Chains A and B, each alone.
Chain A
Amino acid sequence: MIFEAPEKSIFLGQGVMVKVVTDSCSGITPELARKFGISVVPLYVQFGNEVYRDNVDLSTKQFYQKLEKSKITPTTSTPGPEVFAELFTTLAEETNEIVAIMFSQMLSGAYGAALQGKAMVTRDCRIEVIDSTLAISAQMLLVISAARMARSGANLDQIVDWVRKAIPRLHIQMTFDTLEYLRKGGRIGMAQAFLGSLLKVNPVLTLKEGLVFPVARLRNRPKAIDYLVKFVRSFSRIEAIAIEDVTTPEDLEILAERLKDLVPPGDFYRSKVDPVVGVHVGPRVLAACVLEAE
Chain B
Amino acid sequence: MRTDSANGPALKKMFALGTAWLEKAAPDINAINVFPIPDGDTGTNMLLTMQSAMGEANQNPNRSACSVAKSMAAGALMGARGNSGVILSQFWRGLAKGLEGKRSFNGTDFAKALAEASQAAYEGLVNPVEGTILTVLKDAATAADMSARTDSASLLSIMETATEAARDSVARTPDLLPVLRESGVVDAGGQGLYVLLDGALYYLKGKAREIKYRKPRLVASNLPLAPKAAQMATEVEVPYGYCTNFVLEGKKLDPKKVKNKLKKKGQSLIVTGNDSLIRVHIHSFKPGEILDYATHLGTLHQIDVRNMDDQYVEFIKMQRERMPKVDIAIVAVASGDGFFEVFNSLGSTIIVPGGQTMNPSVRQLLQAIESAPSDNIILLPNNKNIIPTASQLESLTVKKVKVVPTRTIPQGIAALLVFNYDLSLEDNVRSMEETITTVKTVEVTKAVRKTQLNGLKIKKGQFIAILNDEELIAKGNNMTDLIFEALTKADIERAEMVTIYYGAETQATEAEEIAQEIRNRYQTEVEVVRGQQPHYNYIISLE
Contact = CB atoms under 8 A, between A and B. Distances in A.
Given A81-B213, A199-B529, A213-B324, A219 B543 contact: yes
A77 interface: yes
B346 A77 contact: no
Contact of B226 (A116, A186, A190, A213): A190
A197 B227 contact: no
Contacts of B543: 219, 223
Contacts of A196: 222-224, 345
Interface in B405-445: 413, 417-422
Contact of B220 (A183, A194, A197, A199): A183
B129 interface: no
Interface in A141-200: 183, 185-186, 188, 190, 192-200
A195 B213 contact: no
Contact of B497 (A80, A197, A198, A220): A220
B298 interface: no
B254 interface: no
A216 B347 CA distance: 12
B224 A192 contact: yes
A222 B214 contact: no
Interface string B186-211: 00000000000000000000000010
B525 interface: yes
A217 B224 contact: no
Contacts of A222: 496
B421 A198 contact: no
Interface residues of B, number: 39
Interface string A66-98: 000000000001101100000000000000000
Contacts of A208: 324, 422
A214 interface: yes
A215 interface: yes
A77 B227 CA distance: 29
B147 interface: no
A193 B226 contact: yes
Contact of A219 (B215, B218, B341, B417): B417
B213 A193 contact: no
Given A109-B215, A190-B227, A196-B222, 5 more contacts: A78-B213, A80-B213, A188-B220, A193-B421, A222-B496
Interface of A: 77-78, 80-81, 109, 112-113, 116, 183, 185-186, 188, 190, 192-201, 206, 208, 213-220, 222-223
Give the top 8 A-B pairs by smallest Cβ distance, nearest first.
A196-B224, A186-B217, A195-B224, A198-B345, A219-B497, A109-B213, A217-B417, A193-B227
Interface of B: 184, 210, 212-215, 217-227, 323-324, 326, 341-342, 345-347, 413, 417-422, 496-497, 499, 525, 527, 529, 543
